[in-house]
Structure 1
Amino acid sequence: MPRTDRASRVIAAPPDRVYAALVDPDALVAWLPPEGMSGRFERFDARPGGSYRMVLTYADASTASGKATADSDIVEVRFVDIVPGVRVVHAVNFVADDPDYAGTMTMTWEVKATDDGTRVDIRADDVPSGISVEDHAAGLASSLANLAAHVER
């Protein structure tokens, strides 16, 4: 059964700075990997129809198992929609042999000005069944905390 996960956070930074971090490869590689992981791009083209391939590597493979290799996850991401200053929509596919990670997850990142800075809302539709609700919630919260730390400097 299809699952939708959500997360949000108010970040003490202006919307233009937060939005820019959603489409800049140097910023993304700095904040997107959740705690305990690092990332690198094999390619990156931020435009509707463009794509990227990111390799996420666990700092300690003994505490988690990767989807692509023993210590890594690989994601193939296509930019479905980009509304400057407002929203970025990704179609995300995990590179994995396990059918529990198959399918395309759609991730929508939206930014909206608030009195305290910027509210960032994430909606993940069609989350693969291999990703537990708890792990995904922790990963989304970690990425949002990393994003806040990156743009609130």
Structure 2
Amino acid sequence: MSRTDRADRTVAAPPAAVYGALTDPRALESWLPPEGMRGHVDHWDLRPGGGFRMTLTYLDPTGSPGKTSDATDVVDIGFAALVPPERVVQRAVFTSDDPAYAGTMTMTWHLTPTPTGTKVTITAEDVPPGIDQPTHESGLASSLANLAAYVEARQTSHRQP
């Protein structure tokens, strides 16, 4: 049985600014890791059919064993679609010896203009069964909060004289 997890948040910035944060490796390192983790992009190829590898490291791995090692999650992300400034579709595969994390999870980032900015909806389909649903949804919400803080701070700094 496949599982779908979702989260959304409105970001006080136009879709192009949000799309830029979804397609910049240094930006992703800053905002994508949920609370309690840090991330590093190991390689980058921004095009449909391209992708990147991200290593996520738990700041305190106690009680939160990683998928790849006790302290890390390594995930290979393929870009299935890049539709500026509306949508990014990614296919994620975790590096793990545990079959509970096997398979390809599809993550779709939808960007919808609103009067106050952009509604960002993340939909994760075919979530591996080893990923706890409440923890995953909390992590998605944390990443969206980080994204909002990242993009909104840059919007504010660009408006300064």
User: Which TM-score applies when normalising by structure 2?
Assistant: 0.93
1:148 — aligned with what? 148
Note the alpha carbon deviations across 1:12-52, whole angstroms, 9 max, x for none: 11111111000011111100000000000110111100010
Structure 2's unaligned 5+ residue stretches are 154-161
C-alpha distance in 1 between matches for 2:63 and 2:3? 26
1:23 — aligned with what? 23
2:35 — aligned with what? 35
After superposition, the CA RMSD in angstroms is 0.6
Say which SS state the counterpart of residue 62 (structure 2) adopts: helix
Asked whether 1:88 is paired with 2:79, we answer no
1:112 — aligned with what? 112
User: Which amino acid in 1 is paired with 2:129?
Assistant: S
2:79 — aligned with what? 79
- Matched length: 153
User: Which amino acid in 1 is paired with 2:48?
Assistant: P
Q: Post-superposition shift, 1:63?
A: 3.4
Q: Post-superposition shift, 1:90?
A: 0.4
Note the alpha carbon deviations across 1:49-78, whole angstroms, 9 max, x for none: 001011000000113101101100000110
Say which SS state the counterpart of residue 110 (structure 2) adopts: strand
C-alpha distance in 1 between matches for 2:130 and 2:79? 23
C-alpha distance in 1 between matches for 2:90 and 2:113? 22
C-alpha distance in 1 between matches for 2:68 and 2:2? 22
2:99 — aligned with what? 99
1:59 — aligned with what? 59
Regions of 4+ moved over 6 Å: none
2:157 — aligned with what? none
Q: How many percent identity over aligned positions?
A: 56
C-alpha distance in 1 between matches for 2:120 and 2:31? 14
User: Which TM-score applies when normalising by structure 1?
Assistant: 0.98
User: Which amino acid in 2 is paired with 1:21?
Assistant: A
